[in-house]
A and B are shown apart, each in its own frame.
Chain A
Amino acid sequence: MRQVLLIEDEANIAEALRFILSRDGWEVSVVADGALALAEVARLRPDLVILDSMLPGMSGLEILTALRADPLHQALPILMLTAKGQLRDREAAERAGVSAFMSKPFDNSEIRALVRELLGA
């Protein structure tokens, strides 16, 4: 079963994503604190990371940069979510090597399709 790590501090959003993605057959883990995210990635070795941009402890962009700096995670699909919806954030994320980018709020079917695509299913 493919593993999805969801890094999201908003409990309700995390619950919604967990629900729809597990229903699609993905194994979903949630971490709410940015500071713990890198350790979780190392521990779980997920097949996909869904990353919120505004996190306590460590921002989404920082986590993304740190992951891409590690040769182990250079090919890891990372989907970034943001509620700020500014072009600038999107460009910064793309420069940092994000695999896909999506604004909140999202369409459930859209994110499910994107996750499927990123997991190569």
Chain B
Amino acid sequence: MPFNVLVLTCLAYVAFLFVVAFVVERRASRGEMRFLRSPVVYTLSLSIYCTAWTFYGAVGSAARTGLEFLTIYLGPTLVFVGWWWVLRKLVRIGRRQRVTSIADLISSRYGKSNLLGVLVTVIAVVAATPYIALQLQSVTLSFSVFAQTTPETWVMPDRDATAIWVAAGLALFTILFGTRNLDAKEQHHGIVMAIAVEAVVKLVALLAVGIFVVWGLGGGPVAMIERIEAYTDPNWAIQPGRWAGLIFLSAAAVITLPRMFQVLVVESVDEAHLSRASWAFPAYLFAMSLFILPIAVIGLDRMPSGTNPDMMVLTLPLQEGQGALALLAFLGGFSSATSMVIVETIALATMVSNHILMPAWLWLRPQAALSGNLRGAILLARRLSIIMVLALGLEYFRLSGGSAALAAIGQIAFAGMAQVLPAMLGGIFWRGGTKLGATLGLSIGFATWGFTLFLPSFGAGAAISAEVLQNGLFGLHWLRPQALFGSDGMDPLIHSIFWSLALNIAGYAAGSLLSFPDPVERIQGAAFVNAFDDELQAERLGWTHGQAEPEALMNMAQRIIGDEAAISFFEAEARAQGKAGFLPDLTPSFLAGLERNLAGSVGAATAHAMISQLFGRATVTVEDLMAVATEAAQIMEYSARLEEKQGELSRTARQLREVNEKLTQLSVQKDAFLSQISHELRTPMTSIRAFSEILAEGDLPKARVAEYGQIIHTEARRLTRLLDDLLDLSVLENGAVQLNLTLSHLGQMIDRALAVSSQTRPERTFDIRRDYPSEEIYLRTDADRLVQVFINLISNARKYCASDAPVLRISVRQKGGRVVVDFIDNGAGIAKDAQGLIFEKFARLSDDGRAGGAGLGLAICREIMANLGGTVTYLPGQRGAAFRVTLPLRMDKLVMEKQDAEKLR
């Protein structure tokens, strides 16, 4: 087998993968994704679980420890068959939240904490770097195996140079197809297809070697089984503890390894693919593991002792002279190594650039975030991360010297990534998990793993001194890296898994229980834990699983933009697609147009969220929700403004209504007033007219003539008085009254009023009680007008006080610059509901037509007092009727102002 043929084949194979990836990328970018939406591709892409470790290392492991290699296949098989619902939830959440990596998942779940993102990224990089080195090592080893058996003068370049070339080639491939474009979902269709092809190649290669071994060398299955049974090796005894630990570890690894998370969750194009993968992937693993033991047994039998069992898949066919088969096996191993490195590098680079490089860059240059040209920066960060990750792996490979057995490195990486498991599973099943708990658990677990497994793996004295290994950290015996807390005698790997995860879980639980999540954490916690609830709702609403029907979209659009607009938009789109009717195909351009259309009504974020929900793109993130909330806030603000405006309008309307009511009331009052005046004028006139007609007949006895003449006289006077009152009131109300201000003695004014009002019902003797000294006050006011008010009040008392021994108490007080005069009788008083009416015009209380007034007296009093700068009010709660007159001692100033105002007019 010429070495240059190998190199050429290898290059041709790589070129073929380039073409596959390139064509797929091209088609995917044009939206032709149908063949990518295949569960077969998804399942095959999952096979990156089987790295060079599995391809070459499984045989090595079988050669050393018998069936133990199976644990690495059993874990994932159990997860896919028995716990696929955990995967489904992860995939659902990953798609919903647009998760880009496992670090992003953890950070997103715990309130978008970048600290957690960084922590998980560091764990992933530390754990994966040896793993990447391992792949480089296996490729280098396989090259050297060929080089050794090549008789030609071709000299194998040195080990490091080969590794550098391989790493550089992988970096180029990864950068070309891993960072071609920036997809928010971090999907890389070209790479997924390439690794699917590689998955087929490695399976075919391993099966081919296995078939050759069993039938070509082992003499058929029956003979093979006999040979296996005949083989005895004390190391092959099953160690139950290690088995349990390794099964658990590989089960954890299949969901926590960055590359597995990448293909399982991030690259997932359809959740439904999981159901196929749940049996197909275990089947793939079964096929991969089928011939491991035969190859190991035959290899151990036929190969010279001292041969590296890790390379038997390659060396066995070579030794048997099967150059083509060896080449195929080489390609299988090459495929295993390269596919793992590519996807792992992409996954790690995404984490490093998203959680470390970009935040750091934005922190250093905050204004760059606003400039808008982040794309270039992100791509650069991504490419730098890829180179960095590969450089780290290469460096580890060069430093470690490629000594350790392949399987051991894989297990260390598994145990490291398993530290993410508590925070991950807790995050999707327990709402109580908090940022503090996750940080605590991850940190403690990571530290314990580093101390008990990772650092000691470099060998005694390399990373951890022999002294510490022997006597514990700080000389504390219970802090020995491989016997924590005195747990001597455990398998180092199981010891590390046990303690790191136990402390991790304890830290996670304690931190979560002791801290309270912030709002974003709570939102995210609910979104993660209840990832399936909204699906139930969607089903209730009649939305089909993941795929929206055009009718559903139409329905939604009608509700949002209205029937006509929706129908015409859908019709136009259908016509543009060359379809009749109004239900277009759900092409990306149609959906984008619909989203834009809806955005005009409900805002971009809401529109995106709605379409996503309906179309099952399921990519509603917290940012989307926040944006929706912002839009809602804007809408609310807008409606608040509208409400305010409406409030103004309704205030205006109310004012108008009030004014209108007042006008109506005034009109009613005016009508009532006219009606009253009419009544008051017509009543005396009726008597006058009737009796004057009777008198005019002239045949009455003299006594009657006198009597009727007297009635006519009385009624005529009543009419006159009424007209006087009306005139008076009119003058007073219009403020056109001429006041005659003099300095007058209050007592004398009361005397005058009493004298005049004694003519009202003169037959009644009234007990008038006065306090003369208090009346010794000189007022500057219009004495005649004030006396008129007093007369009115006293007359009213005389008229209406029904007491048998009527008493009227007149009391005077001075209060500041004002004088208060109270008139209180001992009658029944005025009913409470009437008290507010008595000062109104014609507010004569019921049957007092006989009392002779027209009901204008108190109205006139009120107007007079207003003109004199005072008031007259009813005093409730005094037993009898009580009126209070208040007026200023001097009213010059007021009058002067009034006269000035009149001059100006």
Cβ A9 vs Cβ B690 within 8 A: no
CB distance from A106 to the nearest CB of B (A): 7
Partner of B690, one of A33, A85, A105: A105
Please measure, in the bound complex, the distance between the C-alpha atom of A105 and the C-alpha atom of B688, giving whole angstroms.
9
List which B845-872 residues lie within 8 A (CB) of chain A.
Answer: 846-847, 849-850
Closest Cβ of chain B to A18, distance in Å, is 11
Question: Which residues of chain B in 672-686 are interfacial with respect to chain A, using CB atoms and an 8 Å cutoff?
Answer: 675-676, 678-679, 682-683, 685-686
Chain A residues with CB under 8 A of B688: 105
CB <8 Å contact, A10 and B687: yes
**Residue from A10, A57, A86 in contact with B683 in the complex, judged by beta carbons closer than 8 Å:** A10
Measured in the bound complex, the distance between the Cα atoms of B715 and A105 in whole Å is 13
Contact status of A83 and B847, CB under 8 A, knowing A20-B690, A106-B690: no
Bitwise interface map of B from 305 to 345 toward A, beta carbon under 8 Å scored 1, else 0: 00000000000000000000000000000000000000000
Q: Which of A2-28 contact B (CB under 8 A)?
A: 9-13, 15-17, 19-20
Q: Taking A10-B849, A86-B675 as contacts, is the C-beta distance between A104 and B683 under 8 angstroms?
A: yes
A61 and B850 alpha carbons, distance in the complex (Å) = 21
- Whether B849 contacts A12 by the Cβ 8 Å rule is no
A24 → chain B closest CB, angstroms: 13
Asked if A84 is at the interface (CB within 8 A of a chain B CB), the reply is yes
A13's partner among B690, B693, B846 (CB-CB below 8 A) is B690
Cβ of A54 under 8 Å from chain B: yes
Knowing A19-B694, A54-B679 are in contact, say whether A83-B846 is a contact too (CB < 8 A).
Answer: no
B760 at the binding interface (Cβ < 8 Å): no
**Closest A residue by C-beta to B696:** A108
Contact of B678 among A56, A83, A106 (CB under 8 A): A83
Within residues 129 to 147 of chain B, which ones have a CB less than 8 A from any CB in chain A? none
Assess whether A9 is in contact with B849, with CB atoms less than 8 Å apart: yes
Say how far A6's CB is from chain B's closest CB, in angstroms.
Answer: 13
Which of B678, B689, B690, B847 gathers most chain A CB within 10 Å? B690
Instruction: Report yes or no: B687 in contact with A12, Cβ–Cβ below 8 A.
Output: yes
Q: Are A56 and B847 in contact (CB under 8 A)?
A: yes
Chain A residues with Cβ under 8 A from B847's Cβ? 9, 33, 56-57
- Is A12 within 8 A of B682, CB to CB? no
State A87–B847 Cα separation when bound (angstroms): 25
Interface-centre pick from A10, A11, A104 (highest chain B CB count, 10 A): A104
With both beta carbons as reference points, the residue of chain A lying nearest to B846 in the complex is identified as: A56
Within 8 A of A (CB), among B642-701: 671, 675-676, 678-679, 682-683, 685-691, 693-694
> B residues within 8 A CB of A107?
689, 693
- A11's nearest neighbour on chain B, judged by CB, is B850
Q: Mark A41-76, 1 if CB is under 8 A from B, else 0.
A: 000000000000010110000000000000000000
Q: Is the CB of A13 within 8 A of B679?
A: no
User: How distant is B246 from chain A, measured CB to nearest CB, in Å?
Assistant: 106
Q: Are B694 and A16 in contact (CB under 8 A)?
A: yes
Complex CA distance for A20 and B692, rounded to whole angstroms: 12
What is the bound-complex CA distance between A12 and B846, given in angstroms?
Answer: 18
CA A9 – CA B851 in complex, angstroms? 12
Q: Does B711 contact A (CB under 8 A)?
A: yes
Quick check: B711 and A15 within 8 Å, CB to CB? yes
For chain A, the bracket of interface size reads 20 to 34
Contact B686 A105 (CB under 8 A): yes
The minimal Cβ–Cβ distance linking A93 to chain B, given in whole angstroms, is: 14
Residue numbers in A under 8 Å from B711 (CB-CB): 12, 15
Interface size on B, residues (CB 8 A): 23
- Which residue of chain A lies nearest to B672 when distances are taken between CB atoms in the complex? A84
B686 touches A83 (CB 8 A): yes
Q: Are A105 and B685 in contact (CB under 8 A)?
A: yes
| Residues in A neighbouring B470, C-beta threshold 8 A | none
Contacts of B715 in A (CB 8 A): 12
In this complex, which of B671, B678, B685 has the most chain A Cβ atoms within 10 angstroms of its Cβ? B678
Contact mask for chain A residues 91-111; partner B; CB cutoff 8 A; 1 contact, 0 none: 000000000000111111000
Q: Which of B678, B690, B694, B846 contacts A86 (CB 8 A)?
A: B678
Complex Cα distance A12/B687, Å?
6
Interchain pairs with CB closer than 8 A, number: 68
B544 CB–A CB distance under 8 Å: no
Q: Is B65 an interface residue (CB 8 A)?
A: no
Give bound CA distance, A67 to B370, whole Å.
Answer: 91
Distance between B758 CB and nearest chain A CB, rounded to angstroms:
23
- Within the assembled complex, what's the spacing in Å between the Cα atoms of A39 and B191? 111
**CB-based nearest B residue for A17:** B690
| Given contact pairs A9-B847, A56-B849, A84-B675, A108 touches B683 in the complex (Cβ within 8 A) | no
Asked whether, in the complex, the Cβ of B687 is within 8 Å of the Cβ of A13, the reply is yes
Q: What is the bound-complex CA distance between A9 and B676, given in angstroms? A: 16
Q: Which of B693, B849, B850 contacts A108 (CB 8 A)?
A: B693
B714 at the interface (CB under 8 A from A): yes
Residues of A with C-beta under 8 A to B850: 9, 11
Taking a contact as CB atoms under 8 Å apart, the answer to whether A83 and B690 are in contact is: no
A84 to B681, CA, bound (A): 9
Q: Measured between alpha carbons, how far is A10 from B847 in the docked complex, in Å? A: 10
Give min CB distance, B674 to chain A, whole Å: 8
Question: B682 touching A83 by the CB < 8 A rule?
Answer: yes
Q: Which residues of the partner chain B approach A104 to less than 8 Å between Cβ atoms?
A: 682-683, 685-686
Chain B residues lying within 8 Å of A103, measured Cβ to Cβ, are 682
In the assembled complex, the Cα of A86 lies from the Cα of B672 at a distance in Å of 10
> In the complex, what residues of B have CB within 8 A of residue A10's CB?
683, 686-687, 849
Contact check: which of B690, B714, B849 meets A16 at CB < 8 Å? B690
B694 and A84 contacting across the interface, CB-CB below 8 Å: no
Contact (Cβ within 8 A) A20 B694: yes
B686 touches A13 (CB 8 A): yes
A121 to chain B, nearest CB (A): 21
Separation in Å of the A61 CB from the closest CB of chain B? 13
A84 and B849 in contact (CB under 8 A), knowing A106-B686, A108-B690? no
| B722 → chain A closest CB, angstroms | 13
The interface residues of chain A lying within 8 Å CB-to-CB of B679 are 54, 83-84
Chain A residues contacting B691 (CB-CB under 8 Å) are 12, 16
A108 touches B686 (CB 8 A): no
Distance in angstroms between the alpha carbons of A88 and B715 in the assembled complex: 27
How far apart are A35's CB and chain B's nearest CB, in angstroms?
Answer: 10
Chain A residue nearest to B704 in the complex (CB) = A19
Residues of A within 8 Å of B846, CB to CB, are 56-57
B717 to chain A, nearest CB (A): 12
- Assembled-state Cα–Cα distance A105/B714 (Å): 16
A50 CB to closest chain B CB (Å) equals 13
When chains A and B are docked, how far (Å) is the Cα of A20 from the Cα of B679? Answer: 22
* Complex CA distance for A84 and B686, rounded to whole angstroms: 12
Bound Cα distance A94, B738 (Å): 48
| Known contacts A56-B849, A104-B686, A12 near B678 by CB under 8 Å | no
Given contact pairs A10-B687, A12-B715, A85 touches B682 in the complex (Cβ within 8 A): yes
**Chain B residue with minimal CB distance to A19?**
B694
Q: Which residue of A lies closest to B691 (CB)?
A: A16
Q: How far is the CA of A117 from the CA of B872 in the complex (A)?
A: 53
Point out the residue from B678, B689, B690 that lies within 8 Å of A84, measured CB to CB: B678
- A18 and B693 alpha carbons, distance in the complex (Å): 14
Contacts of A16 in B (CB 8 A): 686-687, 690-691, 694
**Nearest neighbor of B707 in chain A, beta-carbon distance:** A15
Residue in chain A with minimal CB distance to B677: A84
A83: B residues at CB distance < 8 A: 678-679, 682-683, 686
Q: Which residues of chain A come closer than 8 Å to B686, judged between CB atoms?
A: 10, 13, 16, 83, 104-106
Identity of the chain B residue whose Cβ is nearest the Cβ of A111 in the assembled complex:
B690
Give complex CA distance A37, B671 in Å.
Answer: 28
Q: How far is the CA of A85 from the CA of B690 in the complex (A)?
A: 17
Q: B676: nearest residue on chain A (CB-CB)? A: A84
Can you list 10 pairs linking A and B with CB atoms under 8 Å apart? A9-B847, A12-B691, A12-B714, A16-B686, A16-B687, A56-B846, A83-B682, A105-B682, A107-B689, A108-B693
Going nearest first, the 10 A-B pairs with the smallest beta carbon separation are A56-B847, A16-B690, A83-B682, A12-B687, A105-B686, A104-B686, A105-B689, A83-B679, A108-B693, A84-B675
Q: A33-B847, A56-B846 are in contact. List 6 more A-B contacts (CB 8 A).
A: A12-B715, A20-B690, A56-B847, A83-B686, A106-B690, A107-B693
